[in-house]
Structure formats: C-alpha cells, structure tokens
Amino acid sequence: MKYKLKYLLLALLLCGFANAYSSKPDSIRLSLLTCAPGSEIYAHFGHTAIRYENYTRKIDLVFNYGMFNFRAPHFVWRFVKGETDYQLGITPYIYFRAEYAMRGSSVYQQVLNLTQAEKERLVALLEENYRPENRIYRYNYFYDNCTTRARDKIEEAIRGKVVYPDSIPNKTFRSIVHEFTSEAKWDELGIDMCLGAEADKPIGKRLQMFAPFYMLHYADDAYILEANGEKRPLVLEKTTIVDVDPEPFEPGFPLSPMACGILFLVICVVMGWVQWKKRRIWWGWDLFLLLLQGLAGCLIAFLFFFSTHPTVGSNWLLGLFNPIPLFYLPFLIWHEKKGLPEPYHVINVMYLTLFMVIVPICGQEFNLTVLPLALGLFVNSASRIFIRKKKA
C-alpha cells in the first residue's frame, strides 16, 4: 500500500499539532480499524490500523503499519528471502476510508476504552514510532505484521493487563490462511507449497491474532485488568465505518489446481501407455518433467535452507520437489544417447512410493493437488521400467 508523499508530510504536520494539544480532557479518541479482505494476494487476509481523532484540533489520522514499497531495490529477492521491510505510515482518515471504499472492502471500527493518560501515551508511542529512524521494521507474516504491531502498541500504552477471551480451539496457521484463500485456489496452492509442518501445529489466541479478523474477534470481548483489580472492557463500541459490497472474486485461470493436477496425471498415463505400445521411450518428455520438477524444487529448497520466512524450514514437500532432477538432466541425456540403462526411474519409483507412504504420518497437511502430481511422476517412471523390460 503506497500513499503520496504530500499526504505523509501533511499527516506529520498534523500529528505535531496533535501532540501539543493532546492533554485537553476528552479531546482524543483512538480506535482499532479492521479492513475486510481484498482480491490481491497481499490483501486476502484483511488489514489492521489505528485511528486517531483529536476533536479539539479537528484532526483525524490513521496510523498504518502495513506500508511497503514495491519499487524498493531487490524487493522480490528480499521478499523470497524473508527480508521484507514494512513501515509505519500516517494518512488522513478521509483518504484511508476512500481507498478501502473504492476497492470494495468494508472497515470496522472498535473504539478503545482508554483513560486520558493511556490515550496520550498511545499517541506518544505512535509518534515516537513514526520517527524516520524508528518507522521501518522487518516484516514477518505470522509473528510481526500490521496487526500484531497495532496490538502491541495498544497493550504498551495501557496501565494494566489486557485479558482476551479463551482461544478458539483447533486452529493452526495453515487453517487460518485457508479461511481467507478459499476462493483463490491458486494463491492457496502457492502458499501451501511453501509452508511446512510448523504451520500445522495448534496455536493459541495470541498467535491467532496475526490475522486481522481474529484480532477483531478477541478485542471485542477483551477487558483491561487494572492494578487495583477493577475491570473495564477494552472496546467501548463497535461500528462499521465503511459498509460496501465486496467486489466479486474473478478467478484468473479457468482451471482449478486440482483439475490441472488430474490433467497432468492423465497426460502421464497416456504418454506412458503410448510409449509402452510402441516400445519406444520419448526421452524429451523425461527432460521436460525433470526440468519442471527441478525448477520447482529450487524454489522450495531455497525457502527451506535460506529463507527466514516462518515455518518454511520444516517443509516435507522438499522430498517431492527438490533440485536433484535438475542436476540429473545431463546424466539422463548422456545415458539416452549412449543407449545405456540408467537407474533414475527405478530409484524414483521407490522414492515416490516412500514419499506417498510418509505423507499421512509426517504431521504436515499437504494441498490435495500434490497427490496427482506425485502420481503422475510415479506413472512416468514406472512406465519407463516396463518399457525397458518389454524391449529386453
């Protein structure tokens, strides 16, 4: 999300005025804003921000920890490595509201039940965080994002302890992700291919709050436990400040991932049967499959060994997609040109059999599309073995 520089400068000036007049009683209101999901992959899960209203000075600003710059040097490379930098930005509320209204995302406001001292402290913390030397932070999707940052600043400002309702049971990082990608199956597949077994471990309420709407749910019934034992609700009131119909989801590719996976399996079966009938191996097909498998494996292996993204270092899918087929390509070509038997397909059949046996017991939830992909590779290698025997 990017805003024009002039809006940021205006917001900074307004924030300075707000600081000078923030001590006037009942002149400040602070709210937690939760924005509905959008169609872009980075907007599938919604968004969280903090709204600051100063009635005395007629100031209405939004503190937004979700700003990033696609034009930053090496953005894609740093994103894959897990070294994406986000920053806190300030924008006038009218522009923030207009943006979400235009994109078809409703916005829900929870007015925080803070004392005057807590309001002033929260504003001071946000202004301190907005200083150029403090505003940039290393983004982490599950553990340190726009929602967790907003929550932590609110908790830091409160003179007491925020007590949230009981955790929603049987939730994992992956299950929560799936709740917001149910209509974007290709995005869901891409995320599933990257997440490892750690994403399938049960998580409590604090970790569940990485998702904006889970934060909204827990804040609704949370209360502040003061030092003297008194309790007060965290949220005074909840309203919908942008109420729009969501834009209809428009799938980009006509076929679902599962349909493509089944089509791949059918093609592998047909290719294997035709070659078996003709007693001829089309090793160009082998090269194509090994190339695709190896390239996919390079990405997963890089995430597994080098990326700092959470949960990617426990991905059992590395057993199916890894760079080994890519490295084996020259040897396959050499064996085929010399007419020599090569052991790859025998080893691959045994390996894929072992992989499919391990899948149900490894503790990782795999996207179902993986099954026809693995079976397609299995059928291809098994057909090569039968053709060799038939020709012998």
> Does 17 score more than 50 pLDDT?
no
- pTM score, two decimals? 0.86
H-run or E-run covering 112: strand 107-112
Q: Which residue has the higher pLDDT, 247 or 228?
A: 228
**Is 89 in contact with 97 (CB distance < 8 Å)?**
no
User: What confidence tier does 251 reach under pLDDT thresholds 50, 70, 90?
Assistant: low
pLDDT tens digits for range 262-299: 999 999 999 999 988 888 878 788 889 999 999 999 99
Residues 6+ apart with CB under 8 A from 366: 192, 316, 317, 359
Tell me the percentage of the chain whose pLDDT exceeds 90.
Answer: 62
What 343-352 contacts at long range (C-beta under 8 Å, 24+ apart), as own/partner pairs, is 344/381, 345/380, 345/381, 345/382, 345/384, 345/385, 346/381, 346/385, 348/377, 348/378, 348/381, 349/378, 349/381, 349/382, 349/385, 351/319, 352/320, 352/377, 352/378, 352/381
> What's the mean pLDDT when you consider all of the chain?
88
pLDDT tens digits for range 132-185: 999 999 999 999 999 999 999 999 999 999 999 999 999 999 999 999 998 889
User: What confidence tier does 26 reach under pLDDT thresholds 50, 70, 90?
Assistant: low
